[in-house]
Structure 1
Amino acid sequence: MITRSALIAAVMWAESAIAQSDPASAARAAVAQLEQATVSLQQAESARDRVRALTGTIQAYEAGLVAMRDGLRKAATREAQLSRQLQAREGEISRLLGVLQTIGTASPPVLLLHPAGALGSARSGMILAEVTPALQGRADQLRSDLQEVQTLRMLQKNAASTLQEGLAGVQQARADLSKAVANRTDLPRRFTEDPVRTAILISSVETLDGFASGLSQISGSPIPPSDAEIDEQKGEVALPVQGLLLHRAGEADAAGVVRSGILVATRPRALVTAPTAATIRYRGPLLDLGNVVILEPQRDTLFVLSGLAEVFGDTGQVVPAGAPVGLMGGEIPEIGAILSLSGDGAGAERSETLYIEVREDGRPVDPETWFRTDKDG
């Protein structure tokens, strides 16, 4: 005979620690993001300002791919959690099914009989009436968990094609953006660079300090002073790339080198944009810094971005906030590698690094006095 306490104990389940967000919903939302980015890419073809349209499209793709990876990671974690819970509760599930089957198949006279007579039968009926809803509730929860496992596995199975389409879309958008920037003629020009003067300056300096202090020499005529003023944006400027802060100013990097700027880990081929409206004071290879873009958002202030694979725009142009200034390097991982990385959440997919240095009145200052670095993109 099953006592009341034993029966209740048989149907008590350990509550699972579930994240606030629903992994399945998050993955579906990411798919919708990527689909919308595809629509935006098609619309960008006829947009009046193709550069702006394609920049927004690439950022939408990047955000959608990040959300997709995050959604898949949560889905994989949730699916593994549910699978472990179901395996650990196999015994309880069997007992639950047995009890439900007994209740469902026993004839009414058997249910009403009790060795203690009518009073015992009444008490047994009261206990059964109290316990049956709990049994049904646990059975419903089990059914829901099994359905969630199936849904999560299906999402992960279909993720490869979704990621493939998203990666193809963003690659096309990047190629289109490079062409659109090259054909752009609507930006104001503050000065015209003299390639010979620039080459002489580069050959005569050995440090970024030296190059930055000689920037006025790269034009054949005096460079008009900037009348822009952005001091009120200090501390609120968004990073020019989606990424994760890797090293702060003054911290040694993996090679033990201490720099005045910050290092941001990004995904391969990430888009780099102008954080504010600014003049391009220089763009191209420089010393051992790789491709560099130096922006002047206001007088005596420089944003130095280095480590790019491609740089956009021309020296002397004044670009609006959010304008594309380059792309990070690296190789896009294969679909299998992306799905594998999605399962661990270790951030290993951020293989590229962008170095950001801010200079005021000829001296480097902590970039975090300008940029918000508390959020992962």
Structure 2
Amino acid sequence: MKRILAVTALCVWASSGLAQTADPAADARAAAERLSRASELLDSAESARNRVKALSETVRAYEDGLQAMREGLRRAAIREQTLSRELQSREDEVAQFLGVLMGMGGTPAPVLLLHPSGPVGTARSGMIMAEVAPALDARAQDLRDKLEEVTVLRALQQSAANKLQDGLTGAQQARTALSQAIADRTDLPRRFNEDRVKTALLIASTETLEGFASGLSQIAVDEVPGSLPGISGRKGQLPMPVQGSILRRAGESDAAGISRPGIVLATRPNALVTTPAAATVRYRGPLLDYGNVIILEPQAGILVVLAGLDVVYGDIGQVLPGGSPVGLMGGPETGNDVLYTGDGAETGARQTETLYVELRENNTPVDPLEWFMTDKDN
């Protein structure tokens, strides 16, 4: 009877397996390496000839690395929780299997090899055991692998907080260095000088963004004639000014029922905002209820309005190269990311900031998505 029970238990246990998934631990380690490379970029940026460009790339590298680290850790936590639950759900089955093995171990080998029905039954049970043994070995190895993976994932999550904190600190250092490099920059050309009095009068007399945009030419003094090369040929190909996702499209109402002709992008705190193309800075500073605003002119008759920044870079009248930093989003200066705990909680640094993007042609708003590239990340 013990022989029969043992064969039955082994067949059931060997035929059942846990689902296989990708390796989230490897993704988290790769993200950690990206953060390490970002740290190396920060060190080399200090001596770079174009420090603004180098530091901009460093900030973006930190942003990419931190996002990859958060996602890798989130997947690692989910994987660890899934494995733990599956292993826990099989505790009774494994205990029963071990009990059968212990019972078999207490039976003398000659008796164990015999079957109650005689030689034919003994031969049949031996054939069954021969078929079950390879599957049993594979099942046992699978169990050992998953127990080892749980151990690795738990150790990975324990060490992740320090790595994330180092990344956050490095990113903040890169942003600070970038702000200083921009303040020290003196090599950008100017298309015009600002008449501060006229700027103040325009702001005071303006009630709408349309009215303000129509009066921007009044604040320019000694403007160089002509225009930049322009972006007409790049329609639909301009990069988004910030990494994020589309929260509201043009014309969609917000919670207060207010609709605007631009789009709203949800971004992470302190995200770097860049100009999508070479452009003249027409205005920068607070405006109406938009918060901090920068208005860029990539070509005559086209304005790109970016609103909701915490820090704004650039001076009115300057010509910025494409991809130049124009500001940072708001958010805490530093802070610990909250790791995924396995109960559905978010991994920290969610997209809590919003950037408003409006594009105007001849002072008429158009859908910005006609000009910008969008993909699964935007």
Q: Normalising by structure 2, report the TM-score.
A: 0.92
Partner of 1:244: 245
Cα distance change of structure 1 residues 336 and 312 upon mapping to structure 2, 3 Å threshold: closer
SS in 2 for 1:296: strand
- Aligned pairs for 1:1-377 (under 5 A) are 1=1, 2=4, 7-13=10-16, 15-16=18-19, 18=21, 21-98=22-99, 109-332=110-333, 334-335=335-336, 337=338, 344-345=345-346, 349-376=350-377
Cα distance change of structure 1 residues 222 and 37 upon mapping to structure 2, 3 Å threshold: closer
1:27 to partner: Cα distance = 0.7
1:160 to partner: Cα distance = 1.0
Cα distance change of structure 1 residues 340 and 136 upon mapping to structure 2, 3 Å threshold: closer
More deviation, 225-234/149-158: 225-234
SS in 2 for 1:322: coil
Cα distance change of structure 1 residues 190 and 50 upon mapping to structure 2, 3 Å threshold: same
Q: Deviations over 1:131-150 (max 9, x none)?
A: 01111111111111111111
1:202 to partner: Cα distance = 1.2
SS in 2 for 1:358: strand
Q: Deviations over 1:161-181 (max 9, x none)?
A: 101111110111111101100
1:232 to partner: Cα distance = 2.8
- Contact 1:73-1:344 at 8 Å conserved across structures: no
Q: Counterpart of 2:321 in structure 1: which amino acid?
A: P
- Contact 1:26-1:71 at 8 Å conserved across structures: yes
- Contact 2:228-2:279 at 8 Å conserved across structures: no
SS in 1 for 2:173: helix
Partners of 1:163 and 1:359 in 2: how far apart? Answer: 40
SS in 1 for 2:258: coil
Q: Counterpart of 1:240 in structure 2: which amino acid?
A: P
Q: Deviations over 1:255-275 (max 9, x none)?
A: 221011111111111111111
Q: Counterpart of 2:312 in structure 1: which amino acid?
A: V
Q: Counterpart of 2:13 in structure 1: which amino acid?
A: A
Cα distance change of structure 1 residues 17 and 147 upon mapping to structure 2, 3 Å threshold: closer
Partners of 1:331 and 1:249 in 2: how far apart? Answer: 29
Cα distance change of structure 1 residues 336 and 263 upon mapping to structure 2, 3 Å threshold: closer
Partners of 2:219 and 2:71 in 1: how far apart? Answer: 45
Partners of 2:343 and 2:35 in 1: how far apart? Answer: 17
- Contact 1:264-1:354 at 8 Å conserved across structures: yes
1:34 to partner: Cα distance = 0.6
Cα distance change of structure 1 residues 103 and 44 upon mapping to structure 2, 3 Å threshold: farther
Partners of 2:129 and 2:272 in 1: how far apart? Answer: 64
SS in 2 for 1:11: helix
More deviation, 28-37/293-302: 293-302
- Contact 1:10-1:95 at 8 Å conserved across structures: no
Partners of 2:107 and 2:197 in 1: how far apart? Answer: 97
**Over aligned residue pairs, what C-alpha RMSD do you find?**
2.3
More deviation, 223-232/245-254: 223-232
Cα distance change of structure 1 residues 348 and 334 upon mapping to structure 2, 3 Å threshold: closer
1:156 to partner: Cα distance = 0.8
Q: Counterpart of 2:292 in structure 1: which amino acid?
A: N
- Contact 1:10-1:92 at 8 Å conserved across structures: yes
Partners of 2:314 and 2:128 in 1: how far apart? Answer: 78
Q: Counterpart of 1:199 in structure 2: which amino acid?
A: A
Cα distance change of structure 1 residues 133 and 340 upon mapping to structure 2, 3 Å threshold: closer
Partners of 1:168 and 1:342 in 2: how far apart? Answer: 28
Q: Normalising by structure 1, report the TM-score.
A: 0.92
SS in 2 for 1:125: helix
More deviation, 60-69/276-285: 276-285
Q: Counterpart of 1:8 in structure 2: which amino acid?
A: C
SS in 1 for 2:317: coil
1:372 to partner: Cα distance = 2.5
1:231 to partner: Cα distance = 2.3
1:97 to partner: Cα distance = 3.6
SS in 1 for 2:247: strand
- Contact 2:261-2:358 at 8 Å conserved across structures: yes
Q: Counterpart of 1:315 in structure 2: which amino acid?
A: I
Partners of 1:170 and 1:246 in 2: how far apart? Answer: 25
SS in 2 for 1:42: helix
- Contact 1:284-1:311 at 8 Å conserved across structures: yes
Q: Counterpart of 1:9 in structure 2: which amino acid?
A: V
Partners of 2:53 and 2:277 in 1: how far apart? Answer: 14
